[in-house]
Amino acid sequence: MKIKTICCIGAGYVGGPTMAVIAKQCPYIEVTVVDINESRIAAWNSKNLDELPIFEPGLADIVKETRGKNLFFSTDIDKAIDEAEMIFISVNTPTKTYGKGKGMAADLKYIELCARQIAKVAKQDKIVVEKSTLPVRTASAIKSILDNTGNGVKFQILSNPEFLAEGTAVQDLLNPDRVLIGGDTSTKEGEIAVQALVGIYSNWVPKDKILTTNVWSSELSKLTANAFLAQRVSSINAMSEICEKTGADIKEVSKAIGMDSRIGSKFLNASVGFGGSCFQKDILNLVYIAKSYGLNKVADYWEQVIIMNDHQKNRFSDNIVSTLYNTVSGKKITFLGWAFKKDTNDTRESPAIKVADNLLSEQAKIAVFDPKVTEERIYADLEYLNSRSPKENKDLLKVCLDPYEACKESHAIAILTEWDEFKNYNWKQVYDNMQKPAFIFDGRGILDKKTLEEIGFTYYKIGSGN
Ligand code: UDX
Ligand code: ADP
């Protein structure tokens, strides 16, 4: 079965780039990405490619090449479902904020709404692909809704978790380490559906990198991969605190352990904490699943990764307060970076949010500069925490469009995101315009200690005890 029409529900950080790359690599497939959010779809359709709703290196070029040819963005969800042979579900699955499993379980209401809409609209057999990260056994829930509320047409459910990382999404999609497809290969129809999706990826991914498993292994593999990656960050961050006490340097430790081929050198950068839409959500989800099976020791083990991450963020703001003579009240502190990592405008779970909230509670005045994050987003992130009124947030925190302006008259600079441009600033000029002593708290370890100390800064780097 050769798929010629695809619909993707959800035009976000996963759906947008994934479908753009499928459209580019498979010119014979017509791909329509739909969303209930009209302004998001309008942004995907905007003539000015700088106005795409998400920033990803290389994405605008692909959208330019494919949009209007075989890649379409629309709010007409029913039409796109009706016309598609294969439907990807890429809607958000945030942590529940209410009811049973509040603060831990994934909220599946958006997924269920999609399933019901597909069931209502579909008049021909469809293959439905779960792209969003989901709790194990969600596929069977989707199948039950589709089979019981549909128009009698047949559905095959596949799990095809996304492993792209933001900031490198296009490269990750073009050259994936692996593509994982879970399906019910015990039936002929299931096997046909799996092969249909294999057929799409094999247009550009070598066959030996396309793994097929049962649906539940595929769903659990996604949670496991993210839990392992997050655990690595929490592990190195735990060691960073020991480094600071002992005089060791976490960069040297990372290099030394990373050369052991069993450990490997990637994902060993100490930081102010991990953020992003996946790590925390997926681990909480894993913890919830473990608890629901009575596996309390397993749950406690994984929960520690989150506890360590929260500690790292709090420790960073505590250090700023104690270094600035135990008070930051009324002092200007400059944040360079707000995004959860470089090369993205995404701020979900960004450590900057918690660090800012802690410092605002100490009545600091914060100036933020981020090359890609909007003022609107920054205030929305703070308002979501509900720690103080929106007016108080706006009075205490200002967003600047120029980094030098943001640093002017500041008592301290905190590096929250590892944007490359920060390395090349004129740090002498920054220093001259700051209050003295001028402090830098480098939460990403990207600046050069020697150069900054020669200029006159008091420089603190995460994980460095010297
Ligand atoms: C992650 C997974 O990598 C990806 O496979 C999955 O599909 C989604 O979740 P993402 O959250 O986009 O991707 O970015 P990632 O590069 O994994 O970084 C997550 C967080 O960990 C960021 O805040 C990053 O700054 C932090 N991090 C990462 C570190 O602090 N140190 C590291 O060494 C690596
Ligand atoms: P992700 O990082 O998983 O892609 P995003 O929040 O960036 O998450 O994107 C998810 C998108 O799914 C949002 O743009 C949201 O409007 C959209 N969405 C959620 N529910 C539905 C639905 N029932 N139908 C269509 N789109 C939906």
For ligand 1, the distance from its centroid to the CA atom of residue 283, given in whole angstroms, is: 13
pLDDT for 308 equals 98
Question: Which residue is catalytic, options 7, 114, 243, 278?
Answer: 278
CA of 75 to the centre of ligand 1 (A): 30
Of residues 439, 441, 396, the one with CA closest to residue 414: 441
Res 172 pLDDT > 80: yes
**pLDDT for residue 150:** 76
User: Could you report the per-residue pLDDT of 378-412, keeping only the tens digit for each?
Assistant: 999 999 999 999 999 999 999 999 999 999 999 99
Q: Which helix (H) or strand (E) holds 181?
A: strand 179-182
Average pLDDT over residues 106-116: 90
Atom of ligand 1 nearest to the CA of 272: 30
The residue whose CA has the least distance to atom 10 of ligand 1 is: 165
Tell me the DSSP string of 190-201.
HHHHHHHHHHHH
- The CA-based angle 342-97-293, given to 5 degrees, is 100
Question: Average pLDDT in the 337-347 region?
Answer: 97
- pLDDT of 137 above 80: no
Q: Which tens digit of pLDDT belongs to each residue from 184-230? A: 989 999 999 999 999 999 999 999 999 999 999 999 999 999 999 99
H and E: helices and strands count for the chain: 18, 14
pLDDT (0 to 100) of residue 106: 84
pLDDT in tens, 48-78: 999 999 999 999 999 999 999 999 999 999 9
Give the 3-state secondary structure of residue 162: coil
Helix (H) or strand (E) holding 399: strand 397-399
Q: Whose CA is nearest to atom 11 of ligand 2?
A: 10
Burial 23-36 (b: 16+ CB within 10 A, else e): bbbbeebbbbbbbb
pLDDT digits (tens, 9 = 90+) for 237-288: 999 999 999 999 999 999 999 999 999 999 999 999 999 999 999 999 999 9
* pLDDT confidence tier of residue 94, bands split at 50, 70 and 90: confident
Residue type (1 letter), 457: F
> Confidence class of residue 341 from pLDDT cuts 50, 70 and 90?
very high
Q: Give the confidence band of 139 by pLDDT, cuts at 50, 70, 90.
A: confident
Q: Kindly indicate the confidence band of residue 161, based on its pLDDT and cuts at 50, 70 and 90.
A: very high
Ligand 1 binding pocket, CB closer than 6 Å: 162-166, 226, 229, 233, 267-269, 271, 274-276, 278-279, 340-341
**Residue 133 clears pLDDT 90, i.e. is over it:** no
Contact indicator for 110, 189 with CB cutoff of 8 Å: no
Using the atom order of ligand 2, give the atom closest to the CA of residue 110: 20
pLDDT band for 96, please (50, 70, 90 cuts). confident
* pLDDT attached to residue 1: 86
- Is residue 407 part of the annotated active site? The answer reads no
**DSSP run (H or E) holding 439:** strand 439-442
Residue 381 alpha carbon to ligand 1 centre in Å: 19
For the ranges 72-76, 93-97, 290-294, the lowest mean pLDDT is seen at 93-97
State the pLDDT at residue 271.
98
Residue 431 has pLDDT above 90, yes or no: yes
Q: If you measure from the C-alpha of residue 152 to the centroid of ligand 1, how many angstroms do you get, rounded to a whole number?
A: 42
Q: What is the model's pLDDT at position 141?
A: 83
Residue 419's closest CA among 317, 357, 340, 309?
340
Q: Whose CA is nearest to atom 2 of ligand 2?
A: 13
User: Of the candidates 218, 222, 345, 358, which has an alpha carbon nearest to the alpha carbon of residue 281?
Assistant: 222
| Residues having CB within 6 Å of any atom of ligand 2 | 9-15, 35-37, 40, 77, 90-92, 110, 113-114, 132, 277
Q: What percent of the chain has pLDDT over 70?
A: 100
This prediction has a pTM of 0.95
Name the CA dihedral angle for 12, 18, 19, 23, rounded to a multiple of 10 degrees.
Answer: 150
Averaged pLDDT of the chain: 96
